[in-house]
Structure 1
């Protein structure tokens, strides 16, 4: 009898989807500047660090590097001043990175 295959879980899926939604709505006029922009920056930076931690736990360190960079770019403490078109392009690329990582980062389920 073959040993059972380990069950895998995607811990980074939900934070990745929330961050991708935040990045997709970030070019809207409500979130383009002011308090709305600050909220988006906080949400994306925090969720990037959460996904980076889950990637590190799953031994997929390359995703950790990507999402630490995302947290630095979207950091609300020292925000970057880039052209709005660059922010829109970056938001799309960031959303794709979050969705991809959410689908790919998996680790073995452990029972308590």
Structure 2
């Protein structure tokens, strides 16, 4: 039996990105109800977490992207977005999370 060689990289942002993407893909179904407030909280918190992992990985180009997501989806002072553009923004942000989760990585020590 061959011994597995561990990956030289670890992707800390992958799990929060997958969770955020799953939430964002179902978000258009939850917009009409009170559940959307939970979506706003979850997405903004997960955007900050993924942004922090991007800082740790020294991939600075992700910082403005996740800062914008954290601000646009913030539940404290929510923007009055609605309509097809806001509905389309949910899966677009989910794809951004998925791409970042796959790309943000740090070298194992």
- The alignment's TM-score, normalised by the length of structure 1, stands at 0.87
State the shift of 1:34 in Å: 4.2
Superposed CA deviations along residues 2-60 of structure 1, whole A, max 9, x for unmatched, are: xxxx81000000000100011110011xx214430100000000000000000000000
| Alpha-carbon RMSD | 1.2
Distance 1:77 1:33, change over 3 A: farther
SS of residue in 2 equivalent to 1:78:
coil
Q: What does residue range 24-39 of structure 1 map to in structure 2 within 5 Å? A: 24-28=25-29, 31-39=30-38
Task: Report how many residues are paired.
Answer: 103
Superposed CA deviations along residues 77-109 of structure 1, whole A, max 9, x for unmatched, are: 011112221111111110010000000000011
Aligned to 2:101: 102
Q: What does residue range 8-47 of structure 1 map to in structure 2 within 5 Å? A: 8-28=9-29, 31-47=30-46
Distance 1:26 1:34, change over 3 A: same
Aligned to 1:80: 79
Identify unmatched segments of 5+ residues in structure 1. Answer: 1-5
SS of residue in 1 equivalent to 2:28:
coil
- The alignment's TM-score, normalised by the length of structure 2, stands at 0.89
Identify unmatched segments of 5+ residues in structure 2. Answer: 1-6
